[in-house]
Amino acid sequence: MATDFALALRRFLTAYLAGLRGCSPNTVVSYRDTFKLLVVFFRDDRSIPPETLTLDCVDAGAIVGFLDWLGDVRHNSVSTRNQRLAAIASFFRWMQSQDPARMACCQDILAIPAKRQPQAAVNHLSVEQTRLLLGKPDRSTRRGRRDATLLATLYDTAARVQELADLTVRDVRLEAPAMAALTGKGNKTRHVPLGDNTAALLEAYLAEHHLDGLRHDDDAVFVNQHGRKLSRGGIAWIIAKYQAMASDPVLANAELSPHVLRHSKAMHLYDAGVPLPYIRDILGHVDLSTTEIYARASTEAKRRALEAVYVDIVSDDLPEWNRDAGLLDWLAAL
């Protein structure tokens, strides 16, 4: 017979996350993986097999132990540890409404703080490096034209890699003003404008692949050699292929991924003076504070540049106040 923990977890993942909240399959899988690890922790560290794991076993002390186990045994990063805690907190926030008798226990777990970590720098390419990367595909070949269009669309829309993989012909509008409809986290759709050059590449690409007819509205825009839509791994492989061709050593040695192109677009928009609320809408962020990382990163880069220029102009040599006769006379006269 299933335990109360097993029953509650099944309802949370299916009826609540996938049903009521309409979370994407990737989000549900992420939550599922957190609880798989939690079950393994109880089995291996607490000697509680999955078939006997109940809600009474899962208190704040156990969750703190689980978080420590992630770092000490599995060597997870602080960000991964905090991600697991967020998933658990979501479960127990839901549990409060399902079982009010456990509200105090749930609130003890919700009070567990996330671990602070140093603010990581935003990894992004310069405008020139981005131009070099996007110019690498050989546009005289069919494959090269696909890759050039893919890279241009990924950068121009600042799409998440899964959003690009899921892009269908129906989602692309080439009539002025050209735009792409991207469906992201929580199945939320946003409309992102396309630059003229990207729109021209897409128009030529769709015509070449005979995707510009009405009966192809639901077809994936970017497909592999077998005619199936490209996966996230496939898109990452394409980027890595052209990075390996780069003559710029900084670009060739950069930690490059589809998400770095998303960061790059956001940084370029901010440096060009585009207001943060507009960048937030393009990226599909829920909270403006998430978008502010680009403002902080840009400010820090400007500070380092200014320090490099003015390092020998402004001196930090200050006189000792207690050796300043004029200041001492003024103080004595008060």
- Domain range summary for the chain, segments of one domain joined by +: 4-110, 127-309
Active site residue 259: yes
Q: What is the pLDDT of residue 45?
A: 94
Active site residue 285: yes
Summary mean pLDDT of the chain: 88
Q: Count CB-CB contacts under 10 A for residue 220.
A: 18
Cα 265 from Cα 249, distance rounded (Å): 21
Does a cis peptide bond (omega within 30 degrees of 0) precede residue 277? no
pLDDT over threshold 90, residue 259: yes
Q: Count CB-CB contacts under 10 A for residue 270.
A: 21
Q: What is the pLDDT of residue 156?
A: 94
Cα 207 from Cα 68, distance rounded (Å): 55
Q: What percent of the chain has pLDDT over 70?
A: 89
**SS3 call for 3:** coil
Q: What is the pLDDT of residue 88?
A: 96
Cα 254 from Cα 128, distance rounded (Å): 14
Q: What is the pLDDT of residue 286?
A: 82
Active site residue 11: no
* Residue given tokens 């103080």 in the structure block: 331
Cα 183 from Cα 167, distance rounded (Å): 8
Active site residue 185: yes
DSSP letter assigned to residue 21: S
Q: Which of these ranges, 112-121, 130-139, 182-191, 256-265, has the smallest mean pLDDT?
A: 112-121
Rg (CA), the chain: 26
Catalytic one among 46, 185, 216, 232?
Answer: 185
For the stretch 97-128, pLDDT in tens is: 999 999 999 999 999 999 887 665 678 888 89
pLDDT over threshold 80, residue 210: yes
The arithmetic mean of pLDDT across residues 58-76, rounded, is: 95
Q: In this structure, is the dihedral angle defined by the CA atoms of residues 96, 97, 99 and 103, taken in order, positive or negative? A: positive
pTM for this one? 0.62
Active site residue 262: yes
pLDDT bin (cut points 50, 70, 90) of residue 212 is confident
3-state secondary structure 161-188: HHHHHCCEHHHEECCCCCEEEEECHHHC
Q: Which fold has domain 127-309?
A: hpI Integrase; Chain A (1.10.443)
Catalytic one among 160, 209, 265, 280?
Answer: 160
pLDDT over threshold 60, residue 38: yes
AA identity, residue 304: R
First to last CA, the chain: 85
pLDDT bin (cut points 50, 70, 90) of residue 301 is low
Cα 294 from Cα 258, distance rounded (Å): 17
pLDDT over threshold 60, residue 310: no
Catalytic one among 262, 263, 268, 280?
Answer: 262
pLDDT over threshold 80, residue 60: yes
Cα 244 from Cα 131, distance rounded (Å): 15
CATH of domain 4-110: 1.10.150
AA identity, residue 27: T
Active site residue 268: no
Phi and psi for 88 in degrees, rounded to 5?
-65, -40
Q: What is the pLDDT of residue 319?
A: 58
